[in-house]
């Protein structure tokens, strides 16, 4: 919840944090996501060490981030290659027209 001073109270894995930010709703969503990741990791592991759980959750989030980043980068690279091929084809057509004209 926001208290109006730019501070947002969130709870992550039963710990309360006061975070600063201009978008309280966004901060709450991020905290909820991290809390969910920590809880999922805690169900899959035997550890009760919250620092260890936080690191494992961070690794899971980093993995998701890099997989999504890779998915975005590949189509962008493919689009750049197609654009380059089209530009080369257009240059060839224009060169032929110049020679013929």
The tokens describing 44, both together, are: 């899959």
What pLDDT digit, counting tens, does each position of 16-57 carry?
A: 999 999 999 999 999 999 999 999 999 999 888 999 999 999
What is the pTM assigned to this prediction? Answer: 0.68
Beta strands in the chain (DSSP E): 7-12, 15-20
Q: Report pLDDT for 13.
A: 95
* Phi-psi domain of 10 (left: phi exceeds 0; alpha: psi -120 through 50; beta: other): beta
- Distance between CA atoms of 9 and 27, rounded to whole angstroms? 9
- Whether the per-residue pLDDT at 5 is higher than 70: the answer is no
């Amino acid at each position: 919840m926001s208290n109006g001073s730019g501070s947002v109270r969130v709870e992550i894995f039963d710990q309360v944090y006061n975070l600063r930010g201009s978008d309280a709703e966004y901060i709450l969503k991020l905290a909820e996501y991290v809390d969910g990741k920590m809880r999922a990791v805690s169900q899959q592991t035997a550890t009760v060490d919250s620092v260890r759980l936080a690191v494992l959750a961070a690794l899971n989030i980093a993995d998701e981030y890099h997989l999504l980043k890779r998915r975005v980068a590949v189509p962008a690279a493919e689009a750049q290659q197609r654009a380059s091929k089209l530009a080369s084809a257009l240059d060839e057509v224009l060169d032929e027209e110049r020679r013929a004209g």
